[in-house]
Amino acid sequence: MDRRQFLRKGFIYSALGSLYASTLGRIPLFAAGSQHTSAGNYDLVAVRGGEPVEMYRRAMEEMGGMEQFVKPGQTVALKPNASWDVPPERAANTNPDLIAAIVEDCLKAGASQVYAFDHTCDEWERSYDNSGVEAAVRRGGGRMLHAHLERSYQEVDIPGAKRLTKAKVHERLIQSDVFINVPVLKHHGATTVTVAMKNLMGVVWDRRFWHRNDLHQCIADFCLYRKPDLNIVDAYLVMTQNGPRGTSQSDLTRMQSLLVSPDILAVDAAASMMLGHQPEDIGHLRIAAEMGIGRMNLDDLNIQRVSV
């Protein structure tokens, strides 16, 4: 990319970011003022206006710190989106700097080890490398695990599921004490949006089964097996069309936001509204609400809204 292209793209992102910021206050997630609650007692923290790591640091401060979720000696399974063989500026995968900061925080909280993995859609070695995620995990002090061999998965039962009654799950998720989910918010051609719930498709072996057997129901069903202890949504540079892989930078809008919640349905509901959708119109969110997986109505949540 030459200087002229770089400056032009920077101008486009800046303009889109300004347009988004001017309408952000009308989105229910950001419209109301912050509630006066002590740190660590929020259902969801929504931060806007900063760089990815800056927003993450502020969000975790409001959530009471990583120590609320990771205790000394525990092992952590981290699930980024690293599925696509594209560079970070295409925003198909989770921001690498954000991933590195999360790994560092887990270790500072006393984790004995932080493992990250993703059963990728594109070729795994190129996806791990070109996404920048593997290097970020190592930079933070964690280990990026391979997830491309069936022998790394163990079959589990999912009681209460309607379609996905069994699944082969990556052994590291089964063995870890803490599960942290770090998706990137973006459009998806099959499910309208992909956020925290859909990101969990990368912890199973046969993701094609989900597509063949009512994708929305399977996404909701898997949450009955194991919900993440914490969900951190990268909504800094957001793919608003042609997802989940995208075609070019023209698919992207600079939203400069980040969401954190232990409630996977709540964080997905909030994120879907950022893309202009009502949560009840997204199939797997509606099903998850009916199954009691979490809370979908933002009015029922204690939300901290922060601008940096």
The pLDDT averaged over each successive group of 10 residues in the chain (308 residues) is: 38 38 49 57 97 98 98 98 97 98 98 98 98 98 98 98 98 98 98 98 97 97 98 98 94 98 98 98 98 96 97
pLDDT of residue 40: 74
Helix (H/G/I), strand (E/B), else coil: 192: strand
Q: Is there a contact between 153 and 117 (Cβ–Cβ < 8 Å)?
A: no
pLDDT of residue 41: 86
pTM: 0.90
**Amino acid identity, residue 135?**
A
**Bridge partners for 114 per DSSP:** 76
- Give the count of domains, the chain: 1
CB atoms within 10 A of CB 4: 8
Half-sphere exposure of 218 (CA within 13 A, CB side): 19
Q: Which helix (H) or strand (E) holds 114?
A: strand 113-116
How many residues appear in the chain?
308
pLDDT at 37: 57
Question: Which CATH number fits the domain that encloses residue 54?
Answer: 3.40.50.11440
Residue that has been written with the tokens 């990556």 in this structure: 170
Looking at residue 170, its amino acid is H
Residue 152, helix vs strand vs coil? helix
Which residue range forms the structural domain that includes residue 40? 3-307
Residue 28: what residue type? Answer: P
What are φ and ψ of residue 241, in 5° steps? -155, 160
